[in-house]
């Protein structure tokens, strides 16, 4: 569905050059739900805008939904859906009007646009809101309307830029369910950017981690976490057998970073869940009793920390939302490459 090679974008403004994306390779296969995770300014939006034809790459090639990005941008636009960060709805427009207009922009007849709109509003829990002005919708409803607009032409590949930024935890979880349903019931391939660790972890099949314009890691959430440092395990034992327990642990496959305190043995192993049964048997064989055990899976933040030496939470302001529904984090640089339309296009529709 997506195959990009050496995709690069440089911005130059008033003599200053920003290498926003430094030649990334991206592969996404049909039916996948892939997350593009990175801190603010990492290059997520710039990459997304290139893949959706809104921004011309400085270098590199890509095929998106079967069409060449440079040779056939119109073909790409016809086949993809794009749900931008800020959405594209007019505040004074009614929900039904927005949906119908979007359908017409994609070439649907009036009756088809209305019928497709009805189908989407039902799927996305927006029924009954047809006559509401979009400015009166809640944050979650507005995001679902943005999704409806992005899906009006039944694309098989949909791009989401920070789909849940600014939503409260309940609306975020609700939107995740809708995104999952899109994939499971309609077989849509999804590519989303996010700086929310939990979103990437719980929602995505596979994650690409981007930092400073480069992809620094990629894999399933579990594989990424396993690759970095393994699971932390804490075993509780009787104080007088701590040393013997530590000796048994020291012989376990892949155990490292062993630390003991009276009554407790801490260590790391590649997979805590598979290491523990063997350890239990070894304890049994030596006549020792394990009083307690705890496996601590590494988080994606541990992954990011190991890869970059920085915490994703620190570098992007964390998972905080402001009360007014806007992202707490800042936006990317305001300067531009002399082509203002690049930035402005972000809120226009891909039609």
Q: Which spans of this chain sit near ligand ATP (rule: CB under 6 A)?
A: 11, 13, 18, 20, 38, 40-46, 195, 331-333, 335-337, 342-343
Q: Which is nearer to ligand ATP, 46 or 242 (CB)?
A: 46
Q: Which is nearer to ligand ATP, 44 or 79 (CB)?
A: 44
Minimal CA–CA distance to 24: which of 46, 55, 40? 46
> Cα(81)–Cα(86) distance, rounded to whole angstroms?
15
DSSP-derived letter for residue 135 is G
Q: Which is nearer to ligand ATP, 57 or 298 (CB)?
A: 57
Q: Which is nearer to ligand ATP, 9 or 268 (CB)?
A: 9
- In angstroms, what is the minimal distance from the CB of 331 to ligand ATP? 6
Torsion angle of alpha carbons 130, 131, 136, 141, nearest 10°? 0
- In angstroms, what is the minimal distance from the CB of 312 to ligand ATP? 11
DSSP-derived letter for residue 174 is H
DSSP-derived letter for residue 319 is T
- In angstroms, what is the minimal distance from the CB of 216 to ligand ATP? 13
Residues in Cβ contact with 258 at an 8 Å cutoff, skipping those fewer than 6 apart:
246, 249, 250, 265, 266, 267
Q: Which is nearer to ligand ATP, 43 or 272 (CB)?
A: 43
- In angstroms, what is the minimal distance from the CB of 78 to ligand ATP? 25
- In angstroms, what is the minimal distance from the CB of 211 to ligand ATP? 9
> Cα(275)–Cα(253) distance, rounded to whole angstroms?
8
CB under 8 A, 24+ apart: contacts of 345-349:
345/49, 345/54, 345/55, 346/45, 346/49, 346/54, 346/84, 346/85, 346/86, 347/84, 347/86, 347/87, 347/88, 348/54, 348/88, 349/88, 349/102, 349/105, 349/149
- In angstroms, what is the minimal distance from the CB of 34 to ligand ATP? 15
- In angstroms, what is the minimal distance from the CB of 46 to ligand ATP? 3
Q: Which is nearer to ligand ATP, 195 or 206 (CB)?
A: 195
Minimal CA–CA distance to 204: which of 213, 212, 215, 193? 193
Q: Measured at CB, which residue is nearest to ligand ATP?
A: 333
Q: Which is nearer to ligand ATP, 40 or 154 (CB)?
A: 40
């Amino acid at each position: 569905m997506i195959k990009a090679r050496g995709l690069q974008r440089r911005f130059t403004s008033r003599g200053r050059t920003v290498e926003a994306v430094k030649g990334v390779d991206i592969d996404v296969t049909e039916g996948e739900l892939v997350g593009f995770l990175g801190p603010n300014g990492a290059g997520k939006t710039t990459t997304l805008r290139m893949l959706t034809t809104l921004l011309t790459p400085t270098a590199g090639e890509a095929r998106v939904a079967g069409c060449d990005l440079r040779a056939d941008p119109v073909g790409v636009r016809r086949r993809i859906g794009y749900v931008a960060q800020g959405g594209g709805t007019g505040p004074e427009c009614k929900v039904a009007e927005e949906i119908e207009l979007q359908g017409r922009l994609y070439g649907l007849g009036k009756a088809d646009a209305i019928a497709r709109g009805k189908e989407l509003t039902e799927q996305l829990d927006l029924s009954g809101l047809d006559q509401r002005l979009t400015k009166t919708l809640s944050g979650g409803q507005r995001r679902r309307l943005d999704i409806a607009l992005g899906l009006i032409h039944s694309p098989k590949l949909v791009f989401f830029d920070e789909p849940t930024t600014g939503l409260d935890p309940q609306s975020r979880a609700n939107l995740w369910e809708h995104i999952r349903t899109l994939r499971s019931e309609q077989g849509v391939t999804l590519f989303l950017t996010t700086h929310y660790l939990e979103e990437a972890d719980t929602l995505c099949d596979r994650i690409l981690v981007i930092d400073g314009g480069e992809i620094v890691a990629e894999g399933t959430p579990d594989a990424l976490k396993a690759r970095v440092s393994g699971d932390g395990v804490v075993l509780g034992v009787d104080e007088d057998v701590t040393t013997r327990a530590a000796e048994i642990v020291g012989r376990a496959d892949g155990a490292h970073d062993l630390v003991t305190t009276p009554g407790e043995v801490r260590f790391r192993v590649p997979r805590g869940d598979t290491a523990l049964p063997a350890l239990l048997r070894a304890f049994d064989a030596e006549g020792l009793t394990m009083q307690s055990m705890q496996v601590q899976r590494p988080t994606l933040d541990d992954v990011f920390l190991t890869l970059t030496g920085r915490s994703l939470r620190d570098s992007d302001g964390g998972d905080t939302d402001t009360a007014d529904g806007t992202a707490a984090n800042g936006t990317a640089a305001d300067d531009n490459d002399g082509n203002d339309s690049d930035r402005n296009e972000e809120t226009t529709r891909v039609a």
